Amino acid sequence: MISQAIDNVTLMLMRGNIAEISADAIVNAANSALAGGGGVDGAIHRAAGPTVMQECRQIGHCRTGSAVVTTAGSLHARYIIHAVGPIYGHHADAAQLLASAYDACIDLAEKYQLESIAFPSLSTGAYGYPVVEAAPIALQTVIEHIGQAPTTLRQIAFVLFDERTFKIYAQELERILRPT
Ligand code: AR6
């Protein structure tokens, strides 16, 4: 686990299953139909129970680069923020859409006055975004937001499933915070 204080916010990188994390909001790597699927989406819906899918059906759709909120069922969270990242090689403006998906989550967290949020690595599984390209975008977007106080958020975590993804995020965080 890596924990880094930036202004009044603690930014954490950890390995694990995001469906098991305690936070005000847990971010899901959803698709634009909010239809469920594998990866993070599967793990979150399995752990949360059927009420979350019912809410997703009622909402119906989420634009790529955007996010919507549901309650969190049985998860150790108040809300799930379902974010839709770009599909690498399909969306021409993938970098912008990826940043926009993270921004949308943070905007919702602020709107709901949340103190803690946990992100997975959006788009880097089924959606094929190379982690080396996605990690700087994810971290920069979140860190830029921390710089724009005031913020209700006090804890921002990235919960990364595999060792390789964790290592790339860790290297990238080091590079952003301590450029040589
Ligand atoms: N906790 C944390 N990270 C995880 C977990 C987990 N339980 N499971 C996988 N990862 P992905 P995407 C990592 O495919 O690329 C779904 O079918 C995974 O190793 O979950 O945005 C949706 O329904 C990878 O590093 O999301 C969409 O259709 C990262 O999370 C589509 O996939 C993201 O992988 C979304 O694709």
Q: Map tokens 């993938």 to a residue.
A: 94
Ranges of H-type helices in 7-130: 39-48, 50-59, 94-111
Q: What is the pTM of this model?
A: 0.98
Q: What is the pLDDT of residue 179?
A: 77
Quick: pLDDT tens for 85-143.
Answer: 999 999 999 999 999 999 999 999 999 999 999 999 999 999 999 999 999 999 999 99
Is the minimum distance from the CB of 17 to ligand 1 under 6 angstroms? yes
Quick: pLDDT tens for 37-85.
Answer: 999 999 999 999 999 999 999 999 999 999 999 999 999 999 999 999 9
SS3 content of the chain, % helix, strand, coil (to 5): 40, 25, 35
Q: What is the pLDDT of residue 57?
A: 98
29 C-alpha to ligand 1 centroid (Å)? 6
Residues carrying an active site annotation: 41
Q: Dihedral through CA 8, CA 14, CA 16, CA 20, nearest 10?
A: -20
Task: Please enumerate in sequence order all residues whose Cβ is within 8 A of that of 131, keeping only pairs 6 or more positions apart, or say none.
Answer: 121, 124, 164, 165, 168, 169
Q: What is the pLDDT of residue 149?
A: 65
**What is the value of ipTM here, to two decimals?**
0.99
> Please, is 14 exposed, middle or buried when counting C-beta atoms within 10 Å of its C-beta (0-12, 13-18, 19+)?
middle
130 C-alpha to ligand 1 centroid (Å)? 13
